[in-house]
Structure 1
Amino acid sequence: MTTARTYGQMCPLARSMDVLGERWTFLIVRELLLGPKRFKDLGDSLPALGPNRLTARLRGLEDAGVVRRTTLPPPAGVAVYELTERGEGLREPLGALGRWGLGLPPSPDIDTKTTRVDLIALSVSSVIAPDRLVGLKEIYEMHVGKETFHVEIADGRMRTRSGPAPVRPDLEITCRVRTFLKVIFGGSRAADAVRSGELQVAVGSEEVVERAFDLLSGTEIDYPVYLGV
C-alpha cells in the first residue's frame, strides 16, 4: 500500500518525484541553485507560495538531504538555506528542463513582469557541454536592468549565482534586459551591442565579451515574449 506522498514504485524517476514532485519544490531548488538564501529571500522570490507551505517544502527537502540550514560567515552572519552536494546534483537536470522550457509558446496566464534574466542565464549555463569549458577559469559579473548576478566557470562547469562576483571579475557588463535577451537569443551580436553603446563594459577585453556571450547563446527563440511585446 502506498501513501499519498509517494508513488510506491522502485523506479529512479518515481523516487525523484517522491522528493521533488510537490508544487513549488522545483522552484525552491531553482532559487537555491543561484546560491544560499534566507527564508525571507525565498519568500520574496516566490510570493504566491506563502510562509507555511514554504516551511513545509523546505522541511521535506531537508529530510531528503537536498537542502540544509547554515549560517553565512561574518560579516553577514545570517541563517540561510543552501543546497547539499546531493541538491547541487540537480543543477544539470533542472537546467535542461529550463532550457527545454525556453522554446515553449507563451501563455496568457503568465505575467511577463516576472521575467528574470538570472533564471534564463541559469537555465542556459547549467547545460553547457564540458568540452566548451576546458581550461577556462573566469567570472562574469552582469548588471542587467535591476538585476546583478555573476556566472562562474571553473572545473569544467559553468554556474550562475546571485549578486556580484566574490572576487574581481574577468568581465563586468551593464545593459538593459532587452539588450541582454537580444544578444543571447540571436537578435544581435555582443560586439555590435558594445559598439552601439547598448552594452557597456566596465571590465574585460573584447575577446572575453565575445566568449562570455557565445557560451550563453545558442538557443534562438522569439525573445520578445519575455518582454511582453
Structure 2
Amino acid sequence: MPRQPRRRSYDQHCAAARALDLVGDRWTLLVVRELLAGPRRYTDLHADLPGVSTDVLAGRLKDMESAGLVTRRRLPPPASASVYELTPRGRDLLPVLRSLAAWGAPDLGEPRPTDAVRAHWYAIPLLGPLAELGAGVVQVTLDEGEFHVRIGDDGSVEYGDGVYEGGRLSGGAGDAPDVRLRTDAATCRALAEGESTLAGAIEAGRVTLERTARIP
C-alpha cells in the first residue's frame, strides 16, 4: 500500500492552524501519547496503537521527525534496537493531551466490544487526581496492567508505562515508588469524568493506597 501523502498546510496565519499542520493528522497525537510514556521501539508502538497500519505509522514517525517532535536513537549494547522518543518540543504537547482527555472524558463511558484497552491510557486523565498525593512516584496497578506517574516538587507530572524501575521514567536502577495504588478501570473512568475524587474513592474502598517506608 503506498504511503499516504502528508497533509498540506492550511495556509492560514493562525497559531491553531499551524499546530494542526504539525499534529492534526490521524494517529499523530496518539503516537505522542505513547511516547510521553517513554522511549519506545517501533514494534512496541505498533502493538499499543491497534488499528494503525505499518505504512501509516512509519509515515507519521517520519513526519514527526522532520517536524522536530520525535528523534530516533540506537540503544547501547547489548540491545540491538532503535527507539523513538519525544524532543522537548514534542513533550510540550502533554498539556494538549491533558486538555483533550478532560474534554473527551464525559463521552468515555463503558468500553465498547471493539475497544482496545491499555492501562497506561488512563494515566493522562489521572495526572490531576494523582498529583494530590504530593511529590514522588506513584505506581498504579489495574487488572489491565501497570503504569507509573512521577510528580515533581513543583507540581509537574510525567508518566511511564509498566513498573517503575527507578531513576528517570525511561528506566534506570534505583528507588522503589513512593506510593503503590491499586484500583480498576471503572474507578479510573469515574475519576477522569469527575464523578469521584481520589479521596472519596479511597474512602469507598475503590482505591487501595500503600506508602513505602521511605515516605514519612
TM range (shorter): 0.7 to 0.9
For 1:71, the equivalent position in structure 2 comes to 74
Q: Deviations over 1:153-203 (max 9, x none)?
A: 01421122111112211111334433544566418521331xxxx655554
**TM-score if structure 1 supplies the norm length?**
0.72
In the alignment, residue 84 of structure 2 is paired with which amino acid? Answer: Y
Q: Quick check: which one's helix share is greater? A: 1
Q: Show the counterpart of 2:136.
A: 138
State yes or no: 1:88 paired with 2:91: yes
**159-168 vs 99-108, which moves further:** 99-108
Given candidates 151, 154, 170, the residue that maps to 1:153 is 151
Aligned counterparts of 1:189 and 1:82: Cα–Cα separation in 2: 34
Match of 1:62 in 2: 65
Moved more, 62-71 or 164-173: 164-173
When normalised by structure 2's length, the TM-score is: 0.76
Change (3 A) 1:164 1:23: same
Query: Where do 5+ consecutive residues of structure 1 fail to align?
Result: 209-229
Name the residue aligned to 1:162. 161
Is the Cα contact below 8 Å between 2:75 and 2:83 reproduced in 1? yes
One-letter code aligned to 2:72? R
Q: How many residues align?
A: 195
Distance in 2 (alpha carbons) for counterparts of 1:47 and 1:116: 10
Q: Which amino acid aligns with 1:139?
A: V
> SS in structure 1 opposite 2:204?
helix
| C-alpha distance in structure 2 between counterparts of 1:147 and 1:70, whole Å | 27
Q: Residue 185 of structure 2 aligns with which residue?
A: 177
Structure 2 residue runs without a partner (length 5+): 1-5, 167-175
AA aligned opposite 2:180: E
Percentage of pairs with the same residue: 32
Identify if the C-alpha distance between structure 1 residues 73 and 164 changes in structure 2 by more than 3 Å, giving closer, same or farther.
farther
Letter of the 1:156 counterpart:
G
Give deviations 1:124-152, integer Å, cap 9, x for gaps.
41xx49xx77x943000111113110010
Instruction: Report Cα offsets for 1:47-87 as digits up to 9, x if no partner.
Output: 32111111111000000000010234566563111100000
The CA RMSD measured in Å over matched residues stands at 3.2
